[in-house]
Amino acid sequence: MFQKERVLTLIIKQLEEKDTDIYTCDVGTAKSMAKVTVKALLTTYVKMLESQEAEEGASVTLHCELSKPGVPVEWKKGTQVLKSGEKYQMKQKASVNELIITKVVSEDSGEYSCVFGDQKTTASLKIKVETTAVCLETRRPQPASRSRWNKGTQVLKSGEKYQMKQKASVNELVITKVVPEDSGDYSCVFGDQKTTASLRIKGF
């Protein structure tokens, strides 16, 4: 409050809805009243979520910005409400909201939304999957010898995951789209003989 000559001034800083009221100025026997009504500003998105692509194993940060700080929000993947933990971390810095997704895998691809009230912003996350193939090779004593491939005690079958090739006396096992679970001991067996090698896949 301050006075300049015969003018009295009241300044209300950082108005909030609760400041709505009738204000009175008393000077001697004189009185002046005024009603102040504070209307809340509509919260909106200042910056929307943006779609991203990431490699397997990386961490991804999705963020959006609201017009007001401290507004509680909810993060979703599709219709699933996400909870903060080892996989997902939610952060709020003033009016900026962040969702951090750690060690992403192909299953993390999808639509992510930041929601408050009846408003939301949505973006797509696409995880690029490595298609690395591993080739194991062994030689048979005789070209005509029939052989099979095992992983541990499991007999492997040719298909999308495993491809068996024979070139004269050379046997090849091609393992596609390798993941850490493909680690193990692989054997090429012919008759009562076999040769074994260990495969170790590092986590992405």
Q: What is the pLDDT of residue 99?
A: 98
Please state which architecture CATH assigns to domain 133-199: Sandwich (2.60)
Contact 162, 156 (CB under 8 A): yes
Q: What is the pLDDT of residue 141?
A: 56
Q: Give every residue of the chain whose pLDDT is below 50, as ranges.
A: 131, 204
Q: CA 173, CA 148: separation in Å to the nearest integer?
A: 10
Pick the CATH number of 45-128 from 3.90.1150.10, 2.60.40.10, 1.25.40.10, 3.30.70.360: 2.60.40.10
Ranges for all domains in the chain classified under CATH 2.60.40.10? 45-128, 133-199
